[in-house]
Amino acid sequence: MEHQEGTLNFDSVRITEDEREYASNSYLMSLFALLAGLPLPIFNLIATIIFYFGMRKSTKFVKWHCTQALVSQLFIFFFNTVGFWWTVSIIFQSQELNNYYFGYITLILIINIIEIISTIYTAVKTRAGKHVRWFLFGDLTDKIVK
């Protein structure tokens, strides 16, 4: 990714094997939690928070990627939670299915598919020592980590 003014730049820093592994694991943590805790959206967030707090005293590269993973999980958590509870209310309160529900479920499926693909891509690239900034979350992560 390009270096933009006001963003953290890791291009000139030597990143160790351990740093690459920890940074990559920060993204993989949410995928493991997704498989273990489907369909409850809180499991992804909890796993990412635990990993984040475990790595908060690590190097800036690791901390940055843990923070980006956490910010992305917070974002997607709210979408998934609404979809989860809407589905529960339809099942247990016999609410009618409507186009708004199907539209919302389609939206969160698309968001989740994009997030899973992005997470796998970023985990692989980060493991190789590449710094990957996500759209929307990279700038926010810079502000949090600084």
How high is the pLDDT of residue 29?
Answer: 81
What the block records as the tokens of 60 is 């800036």
Q: Which SS3 state, helix, strand or coil, does residue 66 take? A: helix
Mean pLDDT on 109-129: 93
Alpha-carbon gap, residue 146 to 144, rounded angstroms? 6
Residue 102, pLDDT above cutoff 80: yes
Residue 5, pLDDT above cutoff 50: no
Q: How confident is the model at residue 41 (pLDDT cuts 50, 70, 90)?
A: confident
Percent of the chain exceeding pLDDT 70 equals: 88
* 5 compared with 32, residue with greater pLDDT: 32
Q: How confident is the model at residue 3 (pLDDT cuts 50, 70, 90)?
A: very low
Q: Assess whether the previous peptide bond of 39 is cis (omega < 30° from 0).
A: yes
Residue 103, pLDDT above cutoff 90: yes
Q: How confident is the model at residue 39 (pLDDT cuts 50, 70, 90)?
A: low
Taking every pair of Cα atoms in the chain, the longest distance, rounded to a whole number of angstroms, is 58
Q: Which of 112, 39, 36, 35 is nearest to 72 (CA)?
A: 112
Count of CB atoms situated within 10 Å of the CB of 16: 12
Q: Which of 1, 83, 72, 69 is nearest to 38 (CA)?
A: 83
Q: Residue 44 burial (CB < 10 Å; 0-12/13-18/19+)?
A: buried
How high is the pLDDT of residue 138?
Answer: 92
Residue 1, pLDDT above cutoff 60: no
